[in-house]
Amino acid sequence: KQEVTQIPAALSVPEGENLVLNCSFTDSAIYNLQWFRQDPGKGLTSLLLIQSSQREQTSGRLNASLDKSSGRSTLYIAASQPGDSATYLCAGDSGGGADGLTFGKGTHLIIQP
Amino acid sequence: DTGVSQDPRHKITKRGQNVTFRCDPISEHNRLYWYRQTLGQGPEFLTYFQNEAQLEKSRLLSDRFSAERPKGSFSTLEIQRTEQGDSAMYLCASSLRGSRQGEQYFGPGTRLTVT
């Protein structure tokens, strides 16, 4: 059974800093790895999808990497802004979309102005 | 707005009542998923449809939970005889097989409070 762990559980940094959020998973037979953002009381916004044949994806100030052999993914946020404050969730898909995502508990991020 | 809509956004019900939630996926998406999220946790997968076929339902939390997608478009999730432990956010997601395969797009959720 796939298990996903996110470290740290919470993070508070001053505006402008670069930061890294970590995600680890137990089953290396992961197909897709997806990073989401969730604002309080809201649904999830997809940030980046890394498909099985890929090792990283970039979108604006965000970069996510996937290392299946070590069971790890990282989300790098450059030049953080107060609007980046949210909970960040990573989720793994072991079935190529033919199964549900397994989520970590998330990292609660606060960017101090 | 991801294009996935859910109704209602909030539901307050008394213990023992039945509730039904609706999800409208992105129109061309053939896969639809239901998740439950409790406070401080990541979403937990419940069930999955491809078109109108329910391909995974073993993860539904009990036999009080059921889901349908009768014409392969919108879906409903029903909880019978609600309990206080059912209070949670219920999330729906959709995806399109074959295009950025497996990327799931989530709706805003239905927050259920059982009193």
pLDDT at residue B2, as a whole number: 76
**pLDDT tens column, A58-105:** 999 999 999 988 999 999 999 999 999 999 999 998 766 567 899 999
Q: Under an 8 A CB cutoff, do B108 and A34 touch?
A: no
For A46, the closest of B44, B56, B103 (CB atoms) is B103
pLDDT at A67: 92
| B60-83: pLDDT as tens digits | 888 999 999 988 899 999 999 999
Mutate to test the interface with B, among A44, A51, A108 (most CBs of B within 10 A): A44
Q: Sort strands B65-68 and B75-79 into parallel, antiparallel or unpaired.
A: antiparallel
Listed residue (A91, A59, A25) closest to B95, CA to CA:
A91
A87 vs A98: CA distance, rounded Å: 26
A59 in contact with B, Cβ within 8 Å: no
Amino acid letter, A41: G
Helix count and strand count (H, E) for chain A: 0, 11
Long-range residue pairs from B56-60, CB within 8 A, at least 24 positions apart, any chain: B56/A99, B56/A100, B59/A100
Residue A96 has a pLDDT of 61
Report CA-CA distances (Å) from B106 to A37, A46, B19, B88: 11, 8, 21, 16
| C-alpha to C-alpha distance for B54 and B43, rounded to whole angstroms | 19
On the question of pLDDT at A46 being above 80, the answer is yes
